[in-house]
Amino acid sequence: STSVLWFRRDLRLTDHPALLAAVEAGAHVLPVFVLDPRLLDTDTPRSRRLLASVAALQKDTRGALVIRHGDPVEVIPRLAKEVGAEQVHVSRETTPYGRRRDEAVEKALAEDGRELVATGTPYAVGPGRILNGSGAPYKVFTPFARAWHQHGRPAPAERPKRIPWLRDDVHSDDLPKVDGLEGIEAGEAAARKRWEAFLESGLTAYDTERDRPDLDSTSRLSAPLKYGEIHPRTILADIAAHSAGRSKAATTYVTEIVWREFYADVLWHNPESAWHDLRPELSKLPYDSGPETDRLVDAWREGRTGYPIVDAGMRQLLAKGWMHNRLRMITASFLTKDLHVYWTVGARHFLDHLVDGDIASNNHGWQWVAGTGTDASPYFRVFNPVTQGRKFDPDGEYVRRWVPELRHLTGAAAHEPWKHDNGYDHDYVQPIVDHDEERKESLARYERARR
């Protein structure tokens, strides 16, 4: 018989438990990727990145991967019937939309006597598995991380020696034609190469340099992890086996992977927190909206706030679909605390543009900054864009890379054009708001909301 293997956030063939389960269950495996219009509706860097990854997987399966456009709830049962598959294998999805969709697909398959079989997840420890002593989920990172470290996890799975892909004449739709797809780094082999290079030469300086957007000091694995081109289990096993595996740098790196696991776990237990405050304490906090606010938000989106580090980050996002973690925090703080805009507005913009756009890490990253989420960041922390810039981009290199209007300023001067006679010689915008005033306004609103 044939098994269907429905790929989603697991676009690889190594360390893939659902693939192993499909190989074990069927004489043949039909791999499929569904282009769901709900997830792929615009020509964004994220959509292009996903398509490049699917194209790479199609090559890795030697062309066996079948592409179908449409709603998976219709497409998957129809395909299973077409090829006579009794089982459809998947890696378990853990996001709110993915869970709803999979339940509907499972139901539709069952009506026809077929089965959806979920094996593994995109995480080293599946969301929902870690509970505290009283059987409740964690809402704070540090105790979660402690429990996560104590929790067992399986060793990485081997890549099957031979995969009996179904080679019958099953119709495949074409991938949408998108210019420049070949130029995008994507796919399992590229992810593996990037990870190995980082492990050998980048990891040792990670703890000291990871906060510097002017240096290329982080692993840039967020998109490969997002699409499952590499599994975190593989990363963790490689670190444990490496000579530097117990270094402070390695421990710091593992902690970042655990943040990814933590946010997925929080979202699993609180699906509504994708677009609503996780914690109700600040539900009375007033936010700004209306035409004047829209104008400010547009300036933020386009990198025209007049705060150099904010504008550099927002322009990098538009140009590259990626932003350094420090910049994600600084720009998110600016939108929520300097412009007093509700965090979902920014989370939506990030998701539309980030190549690694991930509902758990993004929306909980936003809530962390806004103070409405997991409680590591106190609500009264307001990032100062100038001191942040001077501290983490000490020579102004990062700002000059993304804001050409400031390239004539040397060193850290690029962070404070208002202090230099020639600061605005190349038409850089004046600050759209006064940070010190907005900081006070933000704190006053928080105080009132907490009363």
- On whether the CB atoms of residues 435 and 384 are closer than 8 A, the answer is yes
Q: Is there binding between residue 328 and ligand FAD (CB under 6 A)? A: yes
C-alpha to C-alpha distance for 268 and 273, rounded to whole angstroms? 9
Of the pair 318, 413, the CB lying nearest ligand FAD is at 318
Residues in region 382-441 near ligand FAD by CB under 6 A: none
Residue 263 as a binder of ligand FAD (CB under 6 A): the answer is yes
Distance between CA atoms of residues 365 and 32, nearest Å: 32
- Residue 121 interacting with ligand FAD (CB under 6 A): no
- Single out the segment in contact with ligand FAD by CB under 6 A; choices: 72-80, 90-98, 221-229, 397-405: 221-229
362 makes contact with ligand FAD (CB under 6 A): yes
Pick between residue 116 and residue 332 the one whose CB is nearest to ligand FAD: 332
Asked if 26 contacts 1 with a C-beta cutoff of 8 angstroms, the reply is yes
CB of 331 to ligand FAD, least distance (A): 8
CB distance 91 to 120 below 8 Å = yes
Q: Work out how close the CB of 362 gets to ligand FAD at its nearest, in angstroms, rounded to a whole number.
A: 3
Task: Please give the C-alpha separations between residue 438 and each of 279, 284, 291, 307, 391, in angstroms, as whole numbers.
Answer: 24, 18, 18, 13, 21
Note whether 357 binds ligand FAD by CB under 6 A.
yes
Among 207, 238, 256, 397, binds ligand FAD (CB under 6 A): 256
**304 sits near ligand FAD (criterion: CB under 6 A):** no
Show the binding pattern over residues 7-26: x = contacts ligand FAD (CB under 6 A), - = does not: --------------------
Which residue pairs, CB below 8 angstroms and at least 24 apart, start in 57-64? Answer: 57/7, 57/11, 57/12, 57/31, 57/33, 57/187, 57/188, 58/175, 59/187, 60/12, 60/13, 60/187, 60/188, 60/189, 61/13, 61/31, 61/163, 61/165, 62/165, 64/30, 64/31, 64/165, 64/166, 64/167
DSSP 384: -
**Residue 127 lies near ligand FAD (rule: CB under 6 A):** no
Q: Which of 130, 126, 127, 135 is nearest to 148 (CA)?
A: 130
Q: Is 226 in the site for ligand FAD (CB under 6 A)?
A: yes
Q: Which of 79, 90, 310, 332 binds ligand FAD (CB under 6 A)?
A: 332
Stretch that binds ligand FAD, among 37-45, 137-145, 236-244, 352-360 (CB under 6 A): 352-360
CA 60 to chain centre: 24
Find, among 313, 9, 86, 186, the residue nearest to 18 by Cα.
Answer: 9
Pull the structure tokens for residue 337: 């605390």
350 near ligand FAD (CB under 6 A): yes
Kindly state the smallest distance separating residue 314's Cβ from ligand FAD, in Å.
Answer: 12
Compare residues 270 and 325 and give the one whose CB is closer to ligand FAD.
325
Sign, CA dihedral 194-47-98-268, equals positive
Q: At what angle do helices 385-392 and 308-320 cross, to 10 degrees?
A: 70
440 residue type, one letter: K
Q: Report the residue number, 53 or 361, with the smaller CB distance to ligand FAD.
A: 361
| Cβ(350)–Cβ(325) below 8 Å | no
Task: Indicate whether 222 belongs to the interface with ligand FAD (CB under 6 A).
Answer: yes
259 near ligand FAD, rule: CB under 6 A: yes
Nearer CB in complex with ligand FAD: 114/210 = 210
Q: Does 87 bind ligand FAD (CB under 6 A)?
A: no
**What DSSP character marks residue 290?**
S
Which stretch in 1-9, 37-45, 126-134, 220-228 sits in contact with ligand FAD by CB under 6 A? 220-228
Check binding of 366 to ligand FAD (CB under 6 A): yes
Within residues 265-294, the interface with ligand FAD by CB under 6 A covers: none
Stretch that binds ligand FAD, among 18-26, 324-332, 424-432, 440-448 (CB under 6 A): 324-332
| Burial of residue 286 (number of CB atoms within 10 Å: 0-12, 13-18, 19+) | exposed
Give min distance, CB of 316 to ligand FAD, in A: 11
Is residue 123 a contact residue for ligand FAD (CB under 6 A)? no
Closest to ligand FAD by CB, 83 vs 278, is 278
* Nearest residue to ligand FAD on Cβ basis: 365
Q: Is the separation of the CB atoms in 115 and 102 below 8 Å?
A: no
Written as six digits, the tokens of 57 are 């997987």
Rounded-to-integer distance, Cα 262 and Cα 130, Å: 10
Interface residue list for ligand FAD (CB under 6 A): 210, 218-222, 225-226, 256-257, 259-260, 263, 324-325, 328-329, 332, 350, 354, 356-358, 361-362, 365-366, 369
